[in-house]
Amino acid sequence: MKIITLIYALTFCLTAFGQTQKTKILLIGTIHFETPHTDQFELKTDDFLSAKRQKELEDLTNILSQTKANKVMIERPLENQRSSDSLYNLYVTDHYKLTVSEREQIGFRLAKKLKLNQVNCIDKFYAMHDSLVGVTAKENNQLYLLKDLGTVANAMLSDYNNKLKNGTISEVLKYLNQPEELKKNLSIYLKFITKIGAGKNFAGAESVSDWYLRNLAIYSNIITQVKSSDKYVILIFGQGHIPILKHLLQNNDDFEVVELSSVLK
């Protein structure tokens, strides 16, 4: 009886531990490889299909594949999952040439190395009310805020462009995902846009709320598609999304957020 009781107790403990095991999730904030993109501020100066960059992408995905991740998630709309699956299946069977998009250059390439059946599409688009923000800024003599925002954003892009010209893709991604760089990106929304129309129509705050809503929807797609059996997930998204997604996932005790610097050493 004592042996049976001990076995039962051990089984219960192991089961309980399995239920509370966190899923590791690696968030990779990136620049968009293809241009023009939908972002107002973006880099427009590199050939990611060159032999040099292709080797760097191979090196990057070889390192990332060592995580043995169960899922790779990309910035492609959820409703495009079927078409994305078709392209990925063609790529896996060597019947499709990757486009310049980081979704494919990193996402598809990595998933193939990991021998995954699909790449998860988790994006959801909500338009920000940029036109209303501009009108409100003009009506309230706040155009200086948009000017200051542009100055800061362009300085960031210039910095990233210099890093890209002088470094590898892995080095650039490590730089982009430093806590201080993520904070800089989010501060553009919180420092400038939210002030526009404050105390009146709150056009700036409502525009930023659309940005948060989009990221909350993306977060919802993440946690819906991650299974309890998934030990490791890699997410590849535009850098601007990462600060909010990171905050949300860090406050969900089903997940352990992995720092990119601990993987790309």
**pLDDT per residue as tens digits for the range 162-205:** 999 999 999 999 999 999 999 999 999 999 999 999 999 999 99
Task: Tell me the average pLDDT across 105-111.
Answer: 98
User: What's the whole-number average pLDDT of the chain?
Assistant: 91
Percent of the chain with pLDDT over 70: 89
Task: Tell me the average pLDDT across 130-148.
Answer: 96
What pLDDT, on a 0 to 100 scale, did the predictor assign at position 35?
Answer: 72
Task: Tell me the average pLDDT across 83-100.
Answer: 98
What pLDDT, on a 0 to 100 scale, did the predictor assign at position 42?
Answer: 55
Residue whose tokens read 């954003």? 153
Is 60 exceeded by the pLDDT of residue 43? no
Q: Are 146 and 189 in contact (CB under 8 A)?
A: no
Q: Has this prediction a pTM greater than 0.75?
A: yes
Q: Which domain holds residue 187?
A: 2-262
What pLDDT, on a 0 to 100 scale, did the predictor assign at position 128?
Answer: 86
pLDDT bucket at 11, cuts 50 / 70 / 90: very low
Domains of the chain: total: 1
236/150 Cα distance (integer angstroms): 26
Beta bridge pairs of residue 234? 26, 72
Residue whose tokens read 């600060």? 243
Beta strands in the chain (DSSP E): 23-30, 71-77, 120-123, 232-238, 255-258
Is 50 exceeded by the pLDDT of residue 254? yes
166/144 Cα distance (integer angstroms): 33
Q: What is the number of residues in the chain?
A: 265
